[in-house]
Amino acid sequence: MSKGAVVFDWHGYGHGSVKAGKHGHQFVVAPTDVMYLNRRQGPQWFEPMAFEGENTLEEIYKYEPIERYWTMSMRSLLIGMQASLWTEFCDKPEDAEYLLFPRLAAVAEAAWSSPIAKRWERFLDTLDGYTERWVLKGIQPARSMYNIEHEVVPEFGKLKVSLKCQRPDVEIRYTLNGREPQANSTLYRRPWVVKESQTIKCATFKDGKQVGKTLVLPLVMNEITGKNLLRSNPVERRMVNGLRGSLKCTDSEWASWTDNDSIAITLDMGGRKKLKSLSFGCLNDFGMGVHKPKSVEILLSDNDVSYWKVAEKKYTMDEIFAEVREVEDLSFEIDDASRYVRIILRGAGKCPATHVRPGQDAKVYVDEIMVEVEKVESKK
């Protein structure tokens, strides 16, 4: 690197800056995980299509550009901080404004304020005044900080629902009867357990007025909802939480994998049952390199050791790499009984040369697994 070069560090949280400082170079911190404004800034169900990941207003405000372990010599080489906005998902100036405001205010505070001077609640009070000024100037800032983030987690055949909001000064109100939430609707205080299909509608309120968008959670229970996925992680357990994914691959209702060559999903039905059908949703998003697998196998077992195949489907390259953006349900008829069900997905490999992402691994995204069993009439 030439003498006098200035390094812009966007990897990690300052590791590149340390390397630059050791060689006497001045540097600017611009960490991807905090300061990339082309990432969504709030709950994914309300956000426009954006780059994968989330950098919220609060995360940006609380970011500290100077690492505690830096020496005074290292700190003296820091000449600034940068936030970046890549506009591949912006079709008009208003799209860029939505991503920039109000997060630019948090960027300024992160750069200018010392750690001991930061007060999140005080910043929000001040921000409300700035927001009014922006609106008068014709800028419509995002109101993502008022929207509700949800988490639905499977637990022992039931679903645990949690709600939260970035703003600590709002109330979350919800309904379970299909009506729109009002200022006098049930106040959310803590997570609760859902045992059957129901639609939750919730929104944030301040001073008796709704300030965030209404979040609708249509929870649909089926035979496997809330049940055990063997040898799974929290991301994979989204496939049995009763919620379908959207058209956004950044949607936190999709399960995805780093290695898409061969994916195995094992369901424990909790007892031997006669299966009629199995289906699951796959996201097809040509622009993002997300495609259905080239093959799917369904296997059954009574002991989770010996499995037999009961269904299989294979797809052509034209079917897999179709230029579409849709959620497709892959369905299988089954007429057999077992306790364990294994789904084996094999990814399509590299995107072809004619693809917008040539040579990139085609990614597999799966949302809700739906299982139908044969009902046994009780004897009188």
Question: What domains can you pick out in the chain, each with its CATH number?
Answer: 7-136 (3.20.20.80), 147-219 (2.60.40), 228-373 (2.60.120.1190)
Q: Confidence class of residue 362 from pLDDT cuts 50, 70 and 90?
A: very high
The type of residue at 349 is: G
Q: Report the alpha-carbon distance of residue 214 to residue 181 in Å, rounded.
A: 8
Q: Confidence class of residue 13 from pLDDT cuts 50, 70 and 90?
A: low
Mean pLDDT for the stretch of residues 111-136: 92
What's the pLDDT at 210? 97
Asked if pLDDT for residue 11 goes beyond 80, the answer is: no
Q: Report the alpha-carbon distance of residue 157 to residue 268 in Å, rounded.
A: 11
Determine if the peptide bond prior to 102 is cis (ω within 30°).
yes
Closest CA to 99 of 137, 48, 133, 166: 48
Rounded to two decimals, what is the model's pTM?
0.87
Q: Average the pLDDT over each of 48-52, 135-139, 151-155, 331-335 and give the range with the smallest value.
A: 48-52
Closest CA to 368 of 268, 248, 260, 219: 219
Spatial neighbors of 334 by CB under 8 A, at least 6 apart, are 275, 276, 277, 278, 298, 300, 310, 311
Q: Confidence class of residue 12 from pLDDT cuts 50, 70 and 90?
A: low
What's the pLDDT at 19? 83
Q: Average the pLDDT over each of 63-77, 130-144, 297-311 and give the range with the smallest value.
A: 63-77
Task: Tell me whether strands 325-346 and 263-285 are parallel, antiparallel or unpaired.
Answer: antiparallel
The type of residue at 328 is: E
Mean pLDDT for the stretch of residues 229-250: 92
Of all helices (H) and strands (E), which one includes residue 89?
none
Angle, helices 120-136 vs 103-112, to 10°: value is 130
What's the pLDDT at 248? 87
Q: Confidence class of residue 22 from pLDDT cuts 50, 70 and 90?
A: confident
Mean pLDDT for the stretch of residues 106-122: 93
Asked if pLDDT for residue 43 goes beyond 90, the answer is: no
Q: Report the alpha-carbon distance of residue 200 to residue 128 in Å, rounded.
A: 29
Q: Confidence class of residue 376 from pLDDT cuts 50, 70 and 90?
A: low
What's the pLDDT at 71? 86
Asked if pLDDT for residue 378 goes beyond 70, the answer is: no
| Strand ranges, E, within the chain | 7-9, 27-29, 39-40, 51-54, 78-81, 148-155, 158-165, 171-175, 186-187, 192-194, 198-206, 209-210, 215-219, 228-230, 255-256, 263-285, 295-301, 308-314, 325-346, 365-373
What's the pLDDT at 10? 84
Q: Confidence class of residue 377 from pLDDT cuts 50, 70 and 90?
A: low
Surface-to-core class of residue 115, CB atoms within 10 Å of its CB (0-12 exposed, 13-18 middle, 19+ buried): exposed
Q: Report the alpha-carbon distance of residue 344 to residue 231 in Å, rounded.
A: 14
Mean pLDDT of all residues belonging to the chain: 93
Asked if pLDDT for residue 380 goes beyond 60, the answer is: no
How confident is the model over 263-319, as pLDDT tens digits?
999 999 999 999 999 999 999 999 999 999 999 999 999 999 999 999 999 999 999
Higher local confidence (pLDDT), 274 or 68: 274
